[in-house]
Chains A and B, each alone.
Chain A
Amino acid sequence: MKFSGFRVFAEALKGNTGWRPLWRDPEPKSDYDYVVVGGGGHGLATAYYLAKAFGQSRIAVLEKGWFGSGNIGRNTTIIRSNYLLPGNEPFYEFSMKLWEGLEQELNFNAMVSQRGVINLIHSDSQRDSFRRRANAVILAGADARLLSREELRAMVPFLNFDNARFPIRGGLLQPRGGTARHDGVAWGYARGADSHGVDLIQNCEVTGFRISDGKIRGVETSRGYISAGKVGVAVAGSSGRVMAMAGMRLPMESHVLQAYVSEGLKPVLPGVITFGAGHFYISQSDKGGLVFGGDIDGYNSYAQRGNLPVVEHAAECGLALMPMIGRARVLRMWGGLMDMSMDGSPIIDRTNVEGLFFNGGWCIGGFKATPASGYAFAHLLATGSPHQTARAYRLDRFSRGYVIDETGTGAQPNLH
């Protein structure tokens, strides 16, 4: 079933009776060549590219809940490729390029909107460090623009430029950054994978790995044993728990990150704005809700809900930045499980078990990575070698001394 303007028109004439479910709901088979564990954005994208870009077949995605129940359906939807370090930036720029063609590729409206991402500057030293980052971004072939205070004022006049403690002195703009509809991304990849023959299996929790002679044989699941040639795990915040079943300890802790949405308002925010003096980022959804977030709560958690101090902190940052939102009421808030790695960067690698592969450590920023993560993981699964933009994301980089620490805060996951 192809989506098009004509199709919408034709369906309207037929009372919308012709729409069908976007994917099949097959029973799991007893064996597959590839089993992808976790049906978040990354798992679904992996299965899609395995089938579409690498021509593989006999693929299943096993998801313990429903597609979109994890972080892919909980994030604040910001996409950007303005990282500093050479291990990261080419990967995120590859992802941005995939975002730019995603809707045509998937024939699905993921509402990718390049409305721009502005990181605010509050001090001279911050301007220096952002200038350095902008140069690194441009060197990697992506886009970055340093904005003066006046240019910024013309774009976003409602900010509190003269805040006594954190005056706004300028901004770093990535014009190609923006937002995308998170559920739409999951559904688009799911539909694309299904149409290339991937079995998408929901309500199927992986409860163990069958490993013999150092080689993966298959997975135990809540719906029975499934044997597999290769297994790729992409379970985000559950990484520690799932990989422990294969006897692995990871350079990772699970934390909770919250997000908030206000009631619907008339359009006020042109794009994404991030506060440079505290952890706070905000955009406005197409429905009008202000979508914002702040820091992780900061302690290990598998609860998918957080506590009030961080809510208060985010609200304080928001008010310091744009006092006009003081009367907006928060409509909903929720939390997601973050796979916080020891250097703040992800891992896409093989493991000590032959045929078992791992994708995780996305911290609070893995939504923007969804297309590239899926592509790179599929590349690794299908060819056995890392994708050229993901070569730094090795599991052994910690012991070898090649950490990729964007914030320079060290092996302290709650600071990344």
Chain B
Amino acid sequence: MLIPHPILGSRDAREFIYLGDVRLLDRPDATRSDAEHSFCDYVFLRDNPAGVHRELWFHEQGDRSWLVVTRNTTTHEILGAELARDVALARKRSAQ
């Protein structure tokens, strides 16, 4: 698989380490009263869709950036990649 890195261009997937579902960006608020429940959900539960999946990849043997890759889990086709930082900042902005 080739991952279209937004800065470095097309890179071999073996330069990356896979973490998983992009929801891992949404760390729950530890100060809320339901934190125990929401952390359990955050750490252990996954949607696991057959089809389009947004997921975190770390460019370990490259620029060490985190990417959000959009990929089809039934065909392995990669539909896009963004810097995870940009995705996280955009979410924060829209949450404010």
Interface residues of A (CB under 8 A from B): 238, 240-241, 244, 249-254, 298-303, 307, 309, 342, 398-399, 411-414
Contacts and interface: CB of A to CB of B under 8 A. Distances in A.
A303 B73 CA distance: 7
A309 B13 CA distance: 9
| Nearest 8 interchain pairs by C-beta | A240-B48, A251-B44, A302-B50, A398-B44, A309-B14, A249-B45, A399-B40, A299-B18
A252 B48 contact: yes
B46 interface: yes
Nearest to B53: A300
B74 to A, nearest CB: 5
A249 B50 contact: no
Interface string B1-33: 100000000000110001111000000000000
A250 B46 contact: yes
Given A299-B18, A300-B55, A307-B1, A252 B73 contact: no
B46 A252 contact: yes
A252 B48 CA distance: 7
A244 B51 CA distance: 14
Nearest to B36: A399
B64 interface: no
A303 B74 contact: yes
Contacts of A342: 43-44
A244 B76 CA distance: 21
Contacts of A302: 50, 73-74
A307 B76 contact: yes
B47 interface: yes
Contacts of B96: none
Contact of A300 (B43, B48, B75): B48
A413 B44 contact: no
A304 to B, nearest CB: 9
Contacts of A411: 43-44
A411 B18 CA distance: 13
Contact of B18 (A252, A303, A414): A414
Given A300-B55, A303-B76, A398-B40, A251 B45 contact: yes
A151 to B, nearest CB: 38
Contacts of A249: 41, 45-48
A370 to B, nearest CB: 23
B43 A254 contact: no
Interface string B56-96: 00000000000000010111100000000000000000000
Contacts of A244: 47-49
B1 to A, nearest CB: 6
Q: Which of A240, A244, A299, A414 has the most CB of B within 10 A?
A: A299
Nearest to B17: A298
Given A300-B55, A303-B73, A412-B19, 15 more contacts: A240-B48, A254-B48, A299-B13, A299-B71, A300-B20, A300-B48, A301-B76, A302-B50, A307-B1, A307-B13, A342-B44, A399-B37, A411-B43, A411-B44, A414-B18
Nearest to B41: A249
Contacts of B21: 253, 300
Nearest to A342: B44
B44 A299 contact: no
A376 to B, nearest CB: 22
Given A303-B73, A413-B20, A241 B48 contact: yes
Contacts of A307: 1, 13, 76
Contacts of B49: 240-241, 244
Nearest to A298: B18
14 contacts: A241-B49, A241-B50, A249-B41, A249-B45, A250-B48, A251-B44, A251-B45, A252-B46, A253-B46, A300-B73, A302-B74, A307-B76, A398-B43, A414-B18
Nearest to A312: B14
Contacts of B48: 240-241, 244, 249-250, 252-254, 300
B78 to A, nearest CB: 10
A244 B47 CA distance: 8
Q: Which of B43, B44, B73, B74 has the most CB of A within 10 A?
A: B44
